[in-house]
Structure 1
């Protein structure tokens, strides 16, 4: 068996803030990993660059068209209702707190995440690798776990909402709800500010008792801190995350010994950018019949609007004139201050990106090659994505991997008919009326919240230039290759 591998996800870690934390001596463990291996300061998030979509891409190595998680908030055509994964507590109340919790804890993995895209836990479980995971949105594996009753809060939750078992990695620890072993670690029911410490405690226990070969070590509190305090305050929360990594390596004999005996991948799922202004879509569609939240049940309307931080989707619910109405909705949305891009499909194999800079039509296949090696044909204004062509190569630094990310989002079976991306400084108000003005946020196609940090040692290529452009999907094949397991076709394309 190869040496143990730990995949650490520091939610929303901005590369510049990682570098500041290292430079000021506040992140010695992350510094050691960087110095021993490779570092990428522009790893591209999925689109929309919100946590459920990016977490699914990390866990499966697939794009949204394959894993089928479209956003933080979306409309299920099959059930005729909104799905809300916890944009804010006020948004969850609009859709029904119990419904939102059920969708987030159970349905996201059991029903919404495509069965055709195995998770890293499923892949390694099938190969006999001892898998483990701490609280992370994507946990689906091959081992059944029942709700724990070790704490009074867990017993209350078990009596009211969380009664069904879940399928997860061999060792699963999820917000005090599921715990495969009695570790003595408490996560305060997954409350922000306590989640990293719970991961550090569980990780140290697993290391001390030799209970894993692969562990997903989730550190989400950096994201909450950044939402509240802004992305430029992240050096503090990254330092806090580093202390939990330090607990893990201390349990493994100290930093040098641990890194000699373990492979490490540390990554962000997306980045963060400062939010200064709000975008409200509802007033612009006052003349349209809008499907509204009603506590989680079925709802009617001509369109459904799904805001998700710095991204949003519009669903045309009537099949008649669906394409035409989508084009009309895109025009309306582009007239709203703060909306930067409106994206839709003009034909089964053609996408459209519209902005005040022009309109760009594109399709897979053609003479242009992007930095991921995919081919495209384009017609219209490349200025819509700040793009240019050099020697047959399509470049778009302001909107990294623009066509690939947009196309995979547009062709996601559960996505809206129109996708929206906010301009720098703007955020869509969620259904609960919440936004992060004065703090940080993410979700857009823009580089400001799409480029996160990725570093590794003891695994993968020796240098970052092994790929011209790295994305969050690239961790999956690195893990698979480390354990000698063939990654499914279509991952990290």
Structure 2
């Protein structure tokens, strides 16, 4: 999915008439001298936005992706890694970096309602949503507050874990990057003059923090950080920065890098588009070519290359494909920039949405009843205390679940469950073994989203081929979108090469622990 933080900042720049010069003169930073773990070679984790297994295999079969094919042939592929939920960039990245679901890391989605401040938080999406939320709010939330205040201080990122053991790390175009080293971002001068962002922004990150035009090391990247290429949040910038670390012999113990470009093509053309994968492969080739040979790259580093979420095709006919929540709930008033005391607030995360019931006089059933009439909705969920409730248009019952009970899933999590198991496509064997089907790791992931926020929150999740909208939304009709709990959005491939010792993992939430084990450090 798009690195929408910087996409949002790009729109901010355009709206504030900040021109190319403001970006191009931002200075490069001197590389620190990080030392890799003395007993283990560096781990390079590369996240390819919206990488999916079926098109990856098709591109490999057609001989279009030599770098991916090399890593697969000399390593191991996990074709169905389970992502976080909602399957949106900031939530996925928060789970990846902290090893927790949203009820712990507290980043509920790309867009959510912050009850204590009475406002919508957006980290950057369509221009209508940015304008409605407030341009200055989007800029500050995405660049400053996401890592500094919104991401829970009760959890540690992998960068913080490693720093506590005096082990260095790096982040290149990562959305979530919080660490223990102090950094100052290079805010373009004209942005500072508009007061959209402070002229000086100090953040805490890993030893090496590269973030497009805001933080750059490789001087050759001056030509890859203009407005038209998303201020440096693009494949070429990322590949150049990582190659620079390799050539300067400055690789730390752990490096997280993002290749974001495939997302836009898939959103526009659908999940079968191969151009984004081919473009990502070219970036991988550039990175591997920084070594004397690709074989040396496997000798010198451990490589993990993976997707973050899948995408579902969205029907072209907007009347059919788009679920308009303003229309579905047209008896109520909705939060907008000029209506902050509305009965409901809606936060659209493409194929899922949060509905916040701010009016105490509205019963939960008043909201769920009209939604249950729409067969395009896969399920509707809410919480009461520790108990979670799920219903769907196709069921006259509810499914209830909570932790610690007689049913045990494949991840060793136990659950108390009653009601209609078919709502989340749950199967149970005679020994109480719980099996997930259309909704991988459904109970833990759904519970994570429901308990990420206080207050009365209802989740709606769309079936494949459909997407939610509200008055200010951007849509993907005729293309593809993500966000849902369904397996089509949730399963991604992961390739591991350069090691035979990688722990067995099936979920993105377990990846942090596996990497720390690979670096011979237990999770702290």
**TM-score scaled by length of structure 2:** 0.86
Report the counterpart of residue 481 of structure 1 in structure 2. Answer: 517
User: Are 2:348 and 1:348 equivalent residues in the alignment?
Assistant: no
User: Are 2:203 and 1:166 equivalent residues in the alignment?
Assistant: yes
State the 1:217 CA deviation.
1.2
Report the counterpart of residue 157 of structure 1 in structure 2. Answer: 191
Report the counterpart of residue 217 of structure 1 in structure 2. Answer: 257
* 1:54 equivalent among 92, 95, 105: 92
State the 1:20 CA deviation.
1.4
Cα pair 2:375 2:393 within 8 Å, conserved: no
* 2:107 equivalent among 69, 73, 78: 69
Q: How many residues align?
A: 472
State the 1:192 CA deviation.
8.5
How far apart, in 2, do the equivalents of 1:193 and 1:424 lie? Answer: 32
Question: Which stretch has the larger CA shift, 410-419 or 216-225?
Answer: 410-419
State the 1:156 CA deviation.
2.2
* 1:418 equivalent among 447, 458, 472: 458
Report the counterpart of residue 309 of structure 1 in structure 2. Answer: 350
Report the counterpart of residue 212 of structure 2 in structure 1. Answer: 175
How far apart, in 2, do the equivalents of 1:371 and 1:343 lie? Answer: 23
Cα pair 2:88 2:349 within 8 Å, conserved: yes
Alignment of 1:329-478 (within 5 A): 329-345=367-383, 347-358=384-395, 359-390=398-429, 391-413=431-453, 417-459=457-499, 461=501, 466-467=504-505, 470-478=506-514
Alignment of 1:40-189 (within 5 A): 40-148=78-186, 154-160=188-194, 161-162=196-197, 163=199, 164-179=201-216, 182=219, 184-185=221-222, 186-189=224-227
How far apart, in 1, do the equivalents of 2:192 and 2:245 lie? Answer: 25
- CA-based RMSD: 2.1
- Provide Cα deviations, 1:463-488, integer angstroms capped at 9, x if missing partner: 8xx35xx1111221122112222214
Cα pair 2:502 2:514 within 8 Å, conserved: no
- Provide Cα deviations, 1:134-183, integer angstroms capped at 9, x if missing partner: 1121011112222326xxxx332343334322211221111201235645
5+ residue gaps, structure 1, are 489-493
State the 1:127 CA deviation.
2.1
State the 1:458 CA deviation.
3.2
User: Are 2:324 and 1:280 equivalent residues in the alignment?
Assistant: yes
- Provide Cα deviations, 1:387-435, integer angstroms capped at 9, x if missing partner: 2112321112111111111111111126861011011100012552310
**TM-score scaled by length of structure 1:** 0.91
| Alignment CA distance shift 1:194-1:313 (3 Å) | closer
How far apart, in 1, do the equivalents of 2:496 and 2:510 lie? Answer: 12
Cα pair 2:85 2:449 within 8 Å, conserved: yes
| Alignment CA distance shift 1:192-1:21 (3 Å) | farther
Report the counterpart of residue 13 of structure 2 in structure 1. Answer: none
State the 1:13 CA deviation.
0.8
5+ residue gaps, structure 2, are 1-37, 316-320
State the 1:376 CA deviation.
0.9
Cα pair 1:291 1:304 within 8 Å, conserved: yes
Report the counterpart of residue 26 of structure 2 in structure 1. Answer: none
How far apart, in 2, do the equivalents of 1:139 and 1:145 lie? Answer: 11
Cα pair 1:14 1:268 within 8 Å, conserved: yes
| Alignment CA distance shift 1:363-1:369 (3 Å) | same
SS in 1 for 2:341: coil
How far apart, in 1, do the equivalents of 2:232 and 2:271 lie? Answer: 16
